[in-house]
Structure 1
Amino acid sequence: MSVKTVGVLGGGQLAWMMAAAAKELDISLIVQTAKENDPATSLAADVVVAGIGDVQAIAQLGKRCDMITFENEFVDLAALGKLAEQGVCFRPNLSVLAPWLDKYDQRCHLQSLGLPVPKFITLPDGKPQGEFPSPPVKALGLPVVMKARRHGYDGQGTTVIQTWQELEPTWSQWGYPAVLLEEFIPFERELAAIATRSVSGEFTLHPIVETQQENQVCRRVIAPADISSEAAAKIEAIARTLMENSQAVGTFGIEMFYTPSGEILVNEIAPRTHNSGHFSIDACTTSQFSQHLRAVCDLPLGNTQLKAPGAVMVNLLGYEHATSDYREKRQQLEQIPQANVYWYGKTQSRPGRKLGHVTVLLDETTEPARRQQALAISQKVESLWYE
């Protein structure tokens, strides 16, 4: 199928960056998003202002596009399934998307593929009856991580429980929904990989990166990660298994824990382009956004190699409740050598909200000098942004 027009469900910054890539590939991108001033509306070829759960609007979008892809995973699969039965093409297709929307289902699917994950169980919804915490819960040990099964992101819907006395009161504050409980991994570093698979089965992996989180929100990304060739080979094998056994089409973000003993455990999967891959716009021959479009449109995948010795990406997170474009701060950031500043055009700032990012290319060719350079630059960016 020759693809000339792509629909995107969601109009945030990921769709905005995808729209820029679409222009370079001569692909027409139509975005369906809830607000007419969402980031992607400034670059998309056309915009449908409707929530991504608006089935009638999606049906109309399907008639205007050769296929529809996703900016986020907050979708109603049952409703979309009826449209698929009517001939609307989704990539990745809905059966591929299904295991990744619920964090417990995601864990089970990864385990079924033989991929390494933390120990986990689920707590069904409703106030617990009988002994609590139960022996299976206590078997996870302390601390333990509690996650909302759906719709949690950027630190929302995730908390670390330090004592068993905290567990039920915290769960009660959430309203006793079904949750995922998993063992806490005392990792050395957090890593991420951007994997892509095309309709024809071609596979690529962008350089593996180190991600640094604060309060479960990504603050900075260092590319490439300072890991051994053996660790890199393990990660590539994980990514291939995941993408090929799932018959995935498109770009997926794979978040992992790297332990002091060299063990690699899969943390979470994002079935879409991902914050950890933003560095690729400036640092790689082919960005994750271009690669995703190439994959879903069944075009040859691009070269994912770095164009510089490395890069550091720093998220510009909101730190106050305000209405501002922070122009003066952005101008200061632009003065940093090799800096590329991306501003998503959001009009409202609140603590933790992703307002933009900065990518700086690195010139150090060896470790640990390159990592030290990345940390020094990220400290400079953050001192200008948060001062």
Structure 2
Amino acid sequence: MRVGVIGGGQLAWMMAPEATKLGISLLVQTPSTEDPAAAVTETVLAPLRDAKATAELAARCDAITFENEFVDLDALGELEKQGVIFAPSLSVLAPLLDKYHQRCYLRDIGLPVPEFISWFGDEQSSFLGKWPLVVKARRHGYDGRGTEVVHNMTELMAVWQRWGRVPVLLEEFIPFERELAVMAARSRGGEIAIYPVVETQQENQVCRRVLVPAAIDPKVAAECETIARQLLQPQSGPAVVGIFGIELFLTDRGQLLVNEIAPRTHNSGHFTIDACEISQFQMQLRAVCDLPLGQTTLKSPGAVMVNLLGYEHSRSDYRTKRQQIAAIPGAHLHWYGKAESHPGRKLGHVTVLLESPEFAMDIARKVEYIWYPASES
């Protein structure tokens, strides 16, 4: 089988070896030969929103899946009418790409979400008195971009003006106890696979580390799984085909709230490459191709994944630091091969398998001590 991927970044790059294991040919649509996946797969070189290029991709594939959400649904809809198979389907993607529409959809299928409104910049609302608030760009925000916490009207107006005076999502600020995440997949035949719930830790609104499994009450983990199943197979509307990353808040009162949904593989699931029987990337391909999904069990009692984020403008490959990190017992380092570094850019990640989850933070700090300058670690 031949599977196309819209997007050629590190997610498609990590999918490529999993495709080889399954005997699947992978092709990607991506704009630059310097994108990670371009070095390891057949490539259609074109912008992600170029529907003519996607038609070329479709002509060479049996199905198309996604590495990101930067797509033109209207243009892809014409291809779907012609018989092109997308997984997830465009009807599944439609309510998820705009963050306000996603919030409405999650609420409407009965999932718990923070209070929210769409704000156009000039209307008054009692919601505006509930400071602090989180303001989010409705489209194209990722890795901390397009999300800010504001404490008063002056700060909100400054963000709104800086973002071009476009409608934004406003939501209540949740003083959470932990941020959690769970990866979940569903095949065409309806089989569902759910990975262990993890704790994600953010700094500057970018994921810094993932602790596996999350140190939470089993009842909370079970509730996360229930939420995942409800998302994958809602009582009304289309069922999902593919893999979803589900981010949640756990409040100090033990309440779970869904933060965001990613209809694809996700940074919070990178640990699965080395710590699980089947990685999230292979799981996505299995779901798209309707193969048996297999096991999501951990291969070690615990693990920690640390993102190796850029902290300077450079073209260095950081070879010495990578060698030091790779020498940590149980470490599995993945370097994305990006040509340039800049602050906050995801350059790679390392997953360390642990004999006990209680050592996760100690190992994470050890990695970060090696990777970041003293002023950053």
TM superposition score category, shorter chain reference = over 0.9
| Equivalent position amino acid for 1:16 in 2 | W
Q: Is 2:309 the partner of 1:309?
A: no
Q: In the alignment, what sits opposite 2:137?
A: 148
Matches within 5 A, 1:31-180: 31-44=28-41, 46-124=42-120, 127-128=121-122, 132=124, 134-138=125-129, 141-180=130-169
Secondary structure of residue in 1 paired with 2:94: helix
| Equivalent position amino acid for 2:126 in 1 | P
Structure 1 stretches lacking a partner, 5+ long: 365-369
Q: 1:314-365, CA deviations, whole angstroms, 9 ceiling, x for partnerless residues?
A: 000000011111111111111111100100000100000000000000101x
Q: Give the drift of 1:79.
A: 0.4
Match of 1:351 among 343, 350, 353: 343
Task: Assess if the C-alpha contact under 8 Å between 2:6 and 2:30 holds in 1.
Answer: yes
Task: Assess if the C-alpha contact under 8 Å between 2:272 and 2:278 holds in 1.
Answer: yes
Q: Is 2:363 the partner of 1:381?
A: no
| Equivalent position amino acid for 2:317 in 1 | D
Matches within 5 A, 1:282-293: 282-293=274-285
Structure 2 stretches lacking a partner, 5+ long: none
Q: Give the drift of 1:306.
A: 0.2
Q: In the alignment, what sits opposite 1:26?
A: 23
Normalized against structure 2, the TM-score is what? 0.97
Q: In the alignment, what sits opposite 1:367?
A: none
Match of 1:300 among 282, 292, 298: 292
Secondary structure of residue in 2 paired with 1:379: helix
Q: How many residues align?
A: 370
Q: In the alignment, what sits opposite 2:231?
A: 242
Task: Assess if the C-alpha contact under 8 Å between 1:121 and 1:137 holds in 2.
Answer: no
| Equivalent position amino acid for 2:271 in 1 | F
Q: 1:155-191, CA deviations, whole angstroms, 9 ceiling, x for partnerless residues?
A: 1000000123322222122221110000000000000
| Equivalent position amino acid for 1:80 in 2 | L
Q: Give the drift of 1:42.
A: 2.1
Normalized against structure 1, the TM-score is what? 0.94
Secondary structure of residue in 2 paired with 1:262: coil
Secondary structure of residue in 2 paired with 1:156: coil
Task: Assess if the C-alpha contact under 8 Å between 1:146 and 1:161 holds in 2.
Answer: yes
Task: Assess if the C-alpha contact under 8 Å between 2:135 and 2:169 holds in 1.
Answer: yes
Task: Assess if the C-alpha contact under 8 Å between 2:311 and 2:342 holds in 1.
Answer: yes
Secondary structure of residue in 1 paired with 2:91: helix
Task: Assess if the C-alpha contact under 8 Å between 2:241 and 2:288 holds in 1.
Answer: yes
| Equivalent position amino acid for 1:244 in 2 | Q
| Equivalent position amino acid for 1:60 in 2 | E
Aligned-partner Cα distance in 2 for 1:120–1:150: 16
| Equivalent position amino acid for 2:99 in 1 | K
Q: Pairwise CA RMSD of aligned residues? A: 1.0
Aligned-partner Cα distance in 1 for 2:155–2:334: 40
Aligned-partner Cα distance in 2 for 1:355–1:22: 22
User: Alignment identity in percent?
Assistant: 62
Aligned-partner Cα distance in 1 for 2:80–2:192: 25
Aligned-partner Cα distance in 1 for 2:88–2:285: 11
Q: 1:285-311, CA deviations, whole angstroms, 9 ceiling, x for partnerless residues?
A: 011011110000000001000010011
| Equivalent position amino acid for 2:70 in 1 | F
Aligned-partner Cα distance in 2 for 1:232–1:169: 39
Match of 1:325 among 313, 317, 321: 317
Task: Assess if the C-alpha contact under 8 Å between 2:315 and 2:341 holds in 1.
Answer: yes
